[in-house]
Amino acid sequence: MTYCVGLLVDAGLIFMSDTRTNAGIDNISTVLKMKTWEVPGERFLCLMSAGNLATTQATISLLDERTVAPSERQPAILSQPTMFQTAKLVGETLREVISGASGPQAQTPDPMFSGSFILGGQIKGTPPRLFNIYSEGNFVEAGEDNPFFQIGEHKYGRPIIIRTYDRKMSMAECAKLLMVSFDSTLRSNLSVGLPLDLQFYERDSYQAGLRTRITGEDPYYKTISAGWSDALKSAFDALPDFNPEAWAEHEEAELATV
Amino acid sequence: MTYCVGLLVDAGLIFMSDTRTNAGIDNISTVLKMKTWEVPGERFLCLMSAGNLATTQATISLLDERTVAPSERQPAILSQPTMFQTAKLVGETLREVISGASGPQAQTPDPMFSGSFILGGQIKGTPPRLFNIYSEGNFVEAGEDNPFFQIGEHKYGRPIIIRTYDRKMSMAECAKLLMVSFDSTLRSNLSVGLPLDLQFYERDSYQAGLRTRITGEDPYYKTISAGWSDALKSAFDALPDFNPEAWAEHEEAELATV
């Protein structure tokens, strides 16, 4: 499995991905699931992947090859006019790979080869945009009402994002939020693993922001992981306890007024 | 879908279940997923169900019928000597129902009819025990290292239980913990819905403890739901923000010492 999150905020885009890959639970390794391209001053793209690793790697390799030699192998990911066209190209390449892996006899793509992507970035003259691209090659875009995407093992880390996300957050606050969300997931599910990759993209910068790999030994990660447990316990303790007597009285009062 | 949790603590057992059932997203209703039996002074049993509603209701009806007329229809759920034998009877009845629904031609049970249960309770002379019973009729028991079970849509509400559970918790604290866990799930997933059913069982009481149904209008539930959002935000704000500059320095320092 995998866990990746892309957040769209006023300040820009923030991406985080884990690095665990497994074929069976006794065949675990570390793999990069975050790929970036940039033309400084013109565009920045970040692509995070989940699903069948052969599929997602092949898709990225194709996109990459076609970028290196754009004259012969159009269309190149770095020559698309808009982020929408970029998402379309990623989706089409993904569908091409899955269709190839399924074989010429397959009536429909084999679900075994499915994969998905989060794509975010900005091209000069257009705003930052964030997309969730499906196995079928189609995609949805983040907006005011759904300003973030998660792919992979997304459930454990979702409640904290839902309750805390605010589009006015700074990049630093977003990084903290993502670390908490990933830490909750890591503690609950073995198929998501450290280290984590973090990428900042600042609005209108048209170049990669901070990029770092977070291991379990990083002091900040350790502070967040331990601090969040303590903070949660304190927050929990501060809530009023359930009072069975009051509850019984409340129920009787309700019955009395029926 | 469904969300049910059973907790084993020193003080006894606590059960909570949601009430949403759906056949398609436009066919939603409310159903009780928590069934109790008791012989005051001798035994108390609580059974929570997830999965195919026809399967779990038929299983409970069979267990219930055989309890009402034990002389003709042995074995009765209230005449088992131990909680282990009780869990075995529930598992066997569940398997019988699934096998019947799958039809006589089926080589293996049809997964469409699968269901699962959390069973907890105590029989005089033995300690309180908690089991998770699978479609196949087999089951696992809660112990020191896994003192709670969740069935159904369990992922959203799991991190808070993992971080907060302590077997020394009072029944009232457990009720608070379960409300937070359910609230996190309700906010993330439409297939889990209010009202919630709550059941206390106090160790060595051999009778049902407090039983109540929690609606969205209950003052305590509203306090917890709103209070937890605020408490989470405060806890999150209290953690140190990610500092990109310090991070860059830390990385350089690491490189320098390699």
Chain B hits for A177, CB-CB cut-off 8 Å, are 236
- Check residue B127 and give its pLDDT: 97
Residue B227 lies in a domain: no
Residue B257 lies in a domain: no
Angle at A216 between CA A211 and CA A219, to 5 degrees: 75
Chain B hits for A187, CB-CB cut-off 8 Å, are 159, 162-163
Residue A48 lies in a domain: yes
* Four-residue CA torsion sign, A71, A72, A73, A74: positive
Residue A133 lies in a domain: yes
Residue A136, CB half-sphere, CA atoms under 13 Å: how many?
4
Q: Which domain holds residue A126?
A: 3-216
* Closest chain B CA to residue A210: B244
* A-proximal residues of B, 219-248, CB under 8 Å: 219-220, 223-224, 227-229, 231-236, 238-244, 246-248
For A109, A144, B30, B61, B116, the CA distances from B56, given in Å and listed in that order, are 36, 41, 15, 9, 8
Please give, rounded to a whole number of angstroms, the shortest distance from the CA of B128 to a CA of chain A.
Answer: 21
Chain B interface, best mutation among A177, A239, A249, by max B CB count within 10 A = A239
**Among B156, B180, B251, whose Cβ lies nearest the Cβ of A158?**
B156
| Six-digit token string for A120 | 């975010």
Chain B hits for A179, CB-CB cut-off 8 Å, are 242
* Closest chain B CA to residue A180: B236
Of the candidates B44, B45, B41, B3, which has an alpha carbon nearest to the alpha carbon of residue B20? B3
Strand ranges across the sheet with B148-152: B148-152, B3-9, B12-17, B196-202, B211-214
Mean pLDDT over A110-139 rounds to 96
Q: What is the pLDDT of residues B226-250, one digit of tens each?
A: 999 898 889 999 999 898 877 666 5
CB atoms within 10 A of CB B161: 20
Rounded CA-CA distance A154/A146 in Å is: 15
User: At which residue do the structure tokens 């002389």 appear?
Assistant: B71
Percent of chain A, pLDDT > 90? 72
Are B240 and A247 an interchain contact pair (Cβ–Cβ within 8 Å)?
Answer: no
- Check residue A255 and give its pLDDT: 55
Q: Which ipTM score applies to this complex? A: 0.79
- Check residue B73 and give its pLDDT: 55
Percent of chain B, pLDDT > 70? 93
pLDDT confidence band for A16 (50 / 70 / 90): very high
Q: Which range is least confidently modeled, A89-93, A238-242, B32-36, B69-73?
A: B69-73
pLDDT confidence band for A65 (50 / 70 / 90): confident
Are B233 and A163 an interchain contact pair (Cβ–Cβ within 8 Å)?
Answer: yes
What integer best gives the mean pLDDT of chain A?
A: 90
Chain B hits for A155, CB-CB cut-off 8 Å, are 155-156, 188
Q: What is the pLDDT of residues A84-123, one digit of tens each?
A: 999 999 999 999 999 999 988 888 888 999 999 999 999 9
Are A158 and B159 an interchain contact pair (Cβ–Cβ within 8 Å)?
Answer: no
Number of domains making up chain A:
1
pLDDT confidence band for B258 (50 / 70 / 90): very low
Omega before A111 cis (within 30°)?
Answer: no
Residue B238 lies in a domain: no
* Closest chain B CA to residue A231: B235
Chain A hits for B214, CB-CB cut-off 8 Å, are none
What integer best gives the mean pLDDT of chain B?
A: 90
- Cβ–Cβ under 8 Å, residues B9 and B130: no
B172 contact A CB<8A: yes
Q: What is the pLDDT of residues B141-185, one digit of tens each?
A: 999 889 999 999 999 999 999 989 999 999 999 999 999 999 999
B158 contact A CB<8A: yes
Are A163 and B187 an interchain contact pair (Cβ–Cβ within 8 Å)?
Answer: yes
- Check residue A9 and give its pLDDT: 97
* Closest chain A CA to residue B246: A220
Task: Give the domain CATH number at A73.
Answer: 3.60.20.10
DSSP chain B: --EEEEEEETTEEEEEE--EEESSTT-EEE---EEEEEETTTEEEEEEEEE-HHHHHHHHHHHHHHHHSTTTSPPPGGG-SSHHHHHHHHHHHHHHHHHHHH-TT-SS--GGG-EEEEEEEEETTS--EEEEE-TTS-EEE--SSS-EEEEES-STTHHHHHHH--TT--HHHHHHHHHHHHHHHHHH-TTS-S-EEEEEEETT--S---EEEE-TT-HHHHHHHHHHHHHHHHHHHHSPPP-HHHHHHHHHHHHHH-
- Check residue B253 and give its pLDDT: 57
Q: Go through chain A and tell me how many residues it has.
A: 258
Is pLDDT of A250 > 80?
Answer: no
Q: What is the pLDDT of residues A144-196, one digit of tens each?
A: 889 999 999 999 999 999 989 999 999 999 999 999 999 999 988 888 899 99
Rounded CA-CA distance A114/A132 in Å is: 14
